[in-house]
Amino acid sequence: MRQPITITGAGLGGLILARILHLNGIAATIYEAERSSGDRMQGGLLDIHEDSGQHAIRAAGLAEAFSRLVRPNEDAKRVVDRDGNILFDRPGSPNGKRPEVDRGALRQMLIDALPSGTIRWGHKLISASRLSEGRYGIRFADGSCLTTAMLVGADGAWSRVRPLLSATKPEFTGTWFIETHIAADDPGCAMHAAIIGSGTMMAVAPGQGILAHRNADGNVHMYIALNRPENWASGIGVKDARGALSSVAEAFGGWAQPLIAMVEDVSLPPTMRPIYALPVDHRWDHAPGVTLLGDAAHLMSPFAGEGANLAMFDAAELARAITSQDSVEAAINSYERDLFPRVAPLALASAANLERFFGPDAPYSVADLFRALT
């Protein structure tokens, strides 16, 4: 099959798909809302699983480049309670099966592996519609439009392509993440890094927690978690970093002072992230010429470590179907037939782990989870 492919979203999944198609001589164009690859920060560490994320990277011919991004020993895990007592402390591995990499570095590696012009930056998708003769129309915020015979929605949680296939919308999980950073040159950064250890630290309790690690540049990257209503952030000012985080820190009253200091000692304005998920059994009826991958297909909470890995694996599987089948319809049918049963148990595990992290048995349930995984 040599039909050009239109991909919406230059996340990890969309980039892997375009890369593998390029290797097989199939034209693909990615339309991305961001204005450039440096338009915004790309999050923190990702653990890349051997049988999913790494499989996709090998299929993209980028295993050697990926190996240069791996941060040895950063897969260490530490679980502490609200008093700072260590309940679980696993050292990192120099060559584990789930090596850690910076999300931004991984994304840039994939961008650099694509021919110039593959990504059309600054194209924010507004809507996608079904036209006649098996084609689709997509409209962008700048007023431009295009039509395509094969459309892949890799455009994330609030996908504009998903409504072509499914009326289901993501549901709020009850948990908020407040994403913050402490700069490497901050006077307190070394103290915070010592508390975190060599990998990821999880200080959790019922309804709240602090999840922190160090980036390659030495910054401390944190997700402060709170179980709050969906409209909770509307009353919190986020323009003044210290003012906003001081308000959030009140929720950690009675915690060990070094943990409270991590919440208060922030260098950049926080990003408020309500955590949404699609139903664990989300699926759709086949439609000609269009499909989904990654969060657009199976958005889940981040507590199974599967989101980025699944997006890349989806892309590799879709690319395999496209390059091995004789028609668009055969390729999409093959891909979707395998997608739904593969994802459902992982979505279920993610939902269960969210409850383990912030439910009534935290932090002991989290320590038990990592002991079982070790």
- Helix (H) and strand (E) counts for the chain? 11, 17
Q: How far apart are CA 366 and CA 364, in angstroms?
A: 5
Q: How many residues are listed for the chain in this entry? A: 374
DSSP track, 206-266: TTEEEEEEE-TTS-EEEEEEEE--TTGGGGS--SSHHHHHHHHHGGGTTS-HHHHHHHH--
Q: Say whether 40 counts as a known binding-site residue.
A: yes
Q: Say whether 47 counts as a known binding-site residue.
A: yes
Q: Say whether 78 counts as a known binding-site residue.
A: no
**Residue 240 to residues 40, 42, 269: CA-CA distances in angstroms?**
18, 21, 6
Alpha-carbon dihedral angle through residues 300, 306, 308, 313, given to the nearest 10 degrees:
-110
DSSP track, 108-176: HHHHHTSPTTSEETT--EEEEEE-STT-EEEEETTS-EEEES-EEE---TT-SSGGGT-----EEEEEE
Is residue 333 a contact partner of residue 154, using CB atoms and an 8 Å limit?
no
Q: Say whether 186 counts as a known binding-site residue.
A: no
Tokens of 6: 């239109």
User: For strand 208-214 and strand 220-227, is the pairing parallel, antiparallel, or unpaired?
Assistant: antiparallel
Q: Which residues are annotated as a binding site for FAD?
A: 47, 103, 295
Residues marked as binding for NADPH? 40
Q: Which residues fall in the annotated binding site?
A: 40, 47, 103, 295
